[in-house]
Chain A
Amino acid sequence: MARVTITVNGKEETRDVKPRTLLVEFLRDHLGLTGTHVGCDTTQCGCCIVLVDSRSVNSCTMLAVQANGANVTTVEGLAKGDKLHPMQAAFREHHALQCGFCTPGMVMSALELVQRNKNPSDDDIRYWLLGNMCRCTGYHNIVKAIKAGAAAMARAG
């Protein structure tokens, strides 16, 4: 077993895990944070994307021990009580989800894009989402939502 301490959504979590434990298993099975989804389990779909030290990462392709000491943000860490994060609110407003399975990864990925580019174009967003797959929406409303979410985040400062 290996002892890991990972700050998840602002809270320090220490657990003893087998070194082969994936970060997504740590989040879902050890901490019960099931908002992060496992889609393909092969680093292609982006459903499991979380922020590790502010960078988007496929948590199905990272070991928990590799995140020891890191700051992790999952989709559960975004809303303040009942008040959705502006990016979450934009996804709801623009009907950017149907089944919702890919949504947590889409939202977390979008947050790194906005960190890098406060005013992304449609092309910027589509190119950025290369590693996020949605099988329902056809992406159109996801692009609209991320654009609106970025604008709302800029307004909120």
Chain B
Amino acid sequence: MHDFTYHEPKSVAEAAAIIGAARDGSLIAGGMSLIPALKQRRARPSDLVDLRHIEELKGIRREADAIVIGAMTRHADVADSDLVRGAIPELARLVGQMADPAVRNRATLGGSVAHGDPAADYPPALVALGATIITSTRAIPADDFFTGAFTTALGKGEIVTAVSFPIPETAAYVKFANTASRYAIIGVFVAGSGRIVRVAVTGAKPCVFRIKEMEAVLANSFSADAIKHIVINPQGLSADIHATPEYRAHLIGVMAQRAVASAASARRRN
């Protein structure tokens, strides 16, 4: 790891000023992706700006029909939160099965979202739930936030401060996880409120995406059978040692049907 100058700002404004003035600054939240990158020298920032002392980035609260989670909230705290478990149980469950306990004790919502890993679990939840990413300068709809592999709509020095998740009537996330890393080879998040249904996929392309053909069908008939006939085109899907594009296309269909079945049965219980 190369040397860097370490900063511990107490407010978002102070952090933004430091990162703005740094030659090549980097923000650090939980560090679960950044510290490995520093160790491999894939990242060599001149300045590291630690967000851990900024109180305004912490905590979980309910605001009207949404749950607002501060950017520095750790995965373990989202998974354990009575507020999240009560309002969006599937979100708590999704976060509770990311990585492993020691990683969940450090990794944060803001860090995960800003990192934009193409196989991460949070992005499909944000997109399917129609979440809004609140930053130091503006509010960005999740649909516009994730723009590519490890790239987002965030500008230089812009800091994610919180994410607002509208509470859905029903939701479910099903993933086919890599058995070693627990990252999604394919993960599908389905959320429904009335006749608005959103289906978001992670792990399949450089960036999370929605399947509008499924959404249109599910708006009229919210059942796994209704989307059985939809064939996913493998063209443009990722290929790596874990799965071919054809296998990923197949998995998207299977995971989507399972997610819809689970969300439909949760809706019947409510």
Question: CB within 8 Å of B: which residues of A?
Answer: 2, 18-20, 22, 41-44, 46, 49, 52, 55-58, 61-63, 65-66, 109, 112-113, 128, 130-132
Contact = CB atoms under 8 A, between A and B. Distances in A.
Classify the secondary structure of A's interface with B.
mixed
Contact of A61 (B3, B36, B180, B182): B36
B4 A58 contact: no
A62 B101 contact: no
A18 B3 CA distance: 8
A57 B106 contact: yes
A62 to B, nearest CB: 7
A150 B235 CA distance: 52
Nearest to B99: A131
A61 B32 contact: yes
Contact of B103 (A43, A63, A65): A43
A46 B103 CA distance: 10
A135 B120 CA distance: 28
Contact of A19 (B6, B32, B39, B99): B6
25 contacts: A19-B3, A19-B4, A19-B48, A20-B2, A20-B3, A20-B38, A42-B39, A43-B32, A43-B36, A43-B103, A44-B181, A52-B105, A56-B105, A57-B105, A57-B106, A58-B103, A61-B32, A61-B35, A62-B35, A62-B106, A65-B8, A66-B52, A131-B99, A131-B101, A132-B100
Contacts of B172: none
B241 interface: no
Interface string B4-36: 111010000000000000000000100110011
A137 to B, nearest CB: 18
A42 B180 CA distance: 13
A109 B1 contact: no
A132 B102 CA distance: 9
B31, B76, B105 interface centre (most CB from chain A within 10 Å)? B105
B42 to A, nearest CB: 13
A65 B6 CA distance: 8
Nearest to B48: A19
B153 to A, nearest CB: 28
A130 B32 CA distance: 16
B101 A66 contact: no
Contacts of A65: 6, 8, 50
A56 B39 CA distance: 21
A83 B197 CA distance: 59
A113 B102 CA distance: 11
A130 B101 contact: yes
User: Which 6 A/B pairs are nearest by Cβ-Cβ distance?
Assistant: A131-B100, A19-B6, A130-B100, A55-B105, A20-B1, A56-B102
A63 B3 contact: no
Contacts of A109: 101-102
